[in-house]
Amino acid sequence: NTMLSWQRTSFHFQPEKNWMNDPNGPMYYKGWYHFFYQYNPNGAVWGDIVWGHAVSRDMIHWLHLPLAMVADQWYDSNGVWTGSATILPDGQVIMLYTGSTNETVQVQNLAYPADLNDPLLVDWIKYPANPVLVPPPGILPKDFRDPTTAWLTSEGKWRITIGSKINKTGVALVYDTVDFKTYERKEDLLDAVPGTGMWECVDFFPVSMKSENGLDTSVNGEEVKHVMKVSLDDDRHDYYSLGNYDEKKVKFTADDLKNDVGIGLRYDYGIFYASKTFYDQKKDRRVLWGWIGESDSEYADVAKGWASVQSIPRIVKLDKKTGSNLLQWPVAEVESLRLKSDEFKNLKVKPGSVVSLDIDTATQLDILAEFEIEKEALEKTAHSNVEYECSNSGGASKRGALGPFGLYVLADGALSEYTPVYFYVVKGSDGKLKTSFCSDQSRSSLANDVHKQIYGSVVPVLEGEKLSLRILVDHSIVESFAQGGRTCITSRVYPTRAIYGAARLFLFNNAIETNVTASLKVWQMNSAFIRPYHPDQKS
């Protein structure tokens, strides 16, 4: 359907057609990044799930390979569901995944490459004695899924965790194994948080407190914090928590119980779910993939013949300045798509004004921007004891003393459609500033069968820091990062007029009491090659 073809993205990973959901088993192997994903080969809605597979040299340009695994066994005939890869020290590759059986029981299965000498890992073998794990006593048959990458214990065993729930408490079950075929259940739960419901796609990994590099999943010790991430089936968001992992007690404890996993910090305050990290041994970093669904109607998805994209892979690391959150930032490889750029220095944006930025086209952009509020305005402005919350504070058109201000992306010239990405600063009753970072979809499309929420959250801003943001725009996706990736928001938007050459970019300032000074660099972004692999082609 060419009618909706402008919504297709140009540098985000997508299959050629049909439905995609969770990232599965990401890894780097013999020169190639491997990406598997939940895929419906038969339509643009969830169902008939198998594993799609693609490979890349740089996680930006992709070659689609044949399906890696299909639903051809009793133990996965209702779906080859989410799983994770573990690369063993001797070079073996282990894939553990959830199968929904012929009786829709969730079980864990083992698979491995047919030929470890094939860097593309095209063929996969399912272990003949699958399943390797069935729901343990006390766990319901449909509450046992999404095994993690394994990490080593000091005894030299491999440990994994699997999400579940007990009544309304989300839990992470733990198993040790030496051969990935037989497992020993640990009675302790790695973590459990009452009221959070089913935990999908648990991810558990170390981050360094000292180095900027990522850590292999088995690293532990003094200079390490652990990250626990869960995808809450009840509210469809990915939550993480920083804390301490006690190997002997088989227990993760959040540093800050207010931010316990499932109730505190989110990876992303827009659409971003079922995410998974892997350790990239090529570049010594930890990379995060996230599934970005649609916010249009299922009818529209069927009409356009596809649904969902994947985030640009993000580097995740500990924010050493705050110590209390992660930083997420698009992998540097995406910068290879940058074409010509326009720079704007120290533009003064007056209260209540909109400034058009003269750039070529505005459907594929990488934007870096910095904003400053006037010092005098900060001093003069009155204290407030109302908490600002992006999602229910009236969006980008509701004016306050020190916000909102930021950018309109995917806007048309008449501003009949535009998506504001902005900061909103409030001076608290204690005199301290509190900054929110938001993305407002309420005017992003004239279509009425799309969600029009306002997303966002607070973002820590430290003494002496300017407000800074980065935005990746790609037709129907807007990925926004504030303060180096402390707070991230991904939106799907469906403009009907702000498309192709009609799309524009604007600065805006809806603060009442301050001018805002903005400096920006805006790159046009090339499209990535994402196409089927033909064995005879050169890569």
Burial of 534 (0-12, 13-18, 19+ CB in 10 A): exposed
Choice between 274 and 355, CB closer to ligand DQQ: 274
Cβ(251)–Cβ(243) under 8 Å? no
Choice between 145 and 314, CB closer to ligand DQQ: 145
Cβ(525)–Cβ(366) under 8 Å? yes
Smallest Cα–Cα separation from 318: which of 226, 191, 435?
226
> What six digits make up the tokens of 396?
């980008």
Choice between 168 and 283, CB closer to ligand DQQ: 168
Angle at 320 (CA atoms; ends 314, 323), nearest 5 degrees: 100
d(CA 49, CA 409): 35
d(CA 438, CA 487): 9
In angstroms, what is the minimal distance from the CB of 530 to ligand DQQ?
A: 22
In angstroms, what is the minimal distance from the CB of 38 to ligand DQQ?
A: 4
In angstroms, what is the minimal distance from the CB of 202 to ligand DQQ?
A: 10
d(CA 99, CA 50): 10
Which pairs with CB-CB distance under 8 Å and at least 24 residues apart come from 131-137? Answer: 131/75, 131/99, 131/101, 131/107, 132/96, 132/108, 132/180, 132/181, 132/182, 132/183, 133/107, 133/108, 133/162, 133/175, 133/183, 134/105, 134/107, 135/105, 135/106, 135/107, 136/173, 136/185
Q: Which residues bind ligand DQQ (CB under 6 A)?
A: 21-22, 38, 49, 81-82, 98, 145-146, 200-201, 231, 274
Cβ(132)–Cβ(109) under 8 Å? yes
In angstroms, what is the minimal distance from the CB of 417 to ligand DQQ?
A: 30
Which of 22, 76, 296, 412 is labelled catalytic?
22
In angstroms, what is the minimal distance from the CB of 143 to ligand DQQ?
A: 10
Choice between 98 and 208, CB closer to ligand DQQ: 98
DSSP secondary structure letter of residue 41:
T
In angstroms, what is the minimal distance from the CB of 459 to ligand DQQ?
A: 27
> What six digits make up the tokens of 403?
């916000």
Choice between 38 and 419, CB closer to ligand DQQ: 38
Q: How many CA atoms lie within 13 A of 127 on its CB side?
A: 20
Choice between 97 and 424, CB closer to ligand DQQ: 97
In angstroms, what is the minimal distance from the CB of 288 to ligand DQQ?
A: 15
Burial of 106 (0-12, 13-18, 19+ CB in 10 A): buried
Q: Which residues of 476-513 are buried (b: 16+ CB within 10 A; e: fewer)?
A: bbbbbbbbbbbbbbbbbbbbbbbbeebbbbbbbbbbeb
328 contacts: CB under 8 Å, gap ≥ 6? 267, 268, 288, 314, 315, 316, 481, 485, 488
For the chain, the C-alpha Rg in angstroms (whole number) is: 23
Residue 76 bears catalytic tag? no
d(CA 203, CA 280): 15
d(CA 413, CA 55): 39
Choice between 71 and 327, CB closer to ligand DQQ: 71
In angstroms, what is the minimal distance from the CB of 67 to ligand DQQ?
A: 14
Choice between 228 and 467, CB closer to ligand DQQ: 228
Q: Which amino acids are annotated catalytic?
A: 22
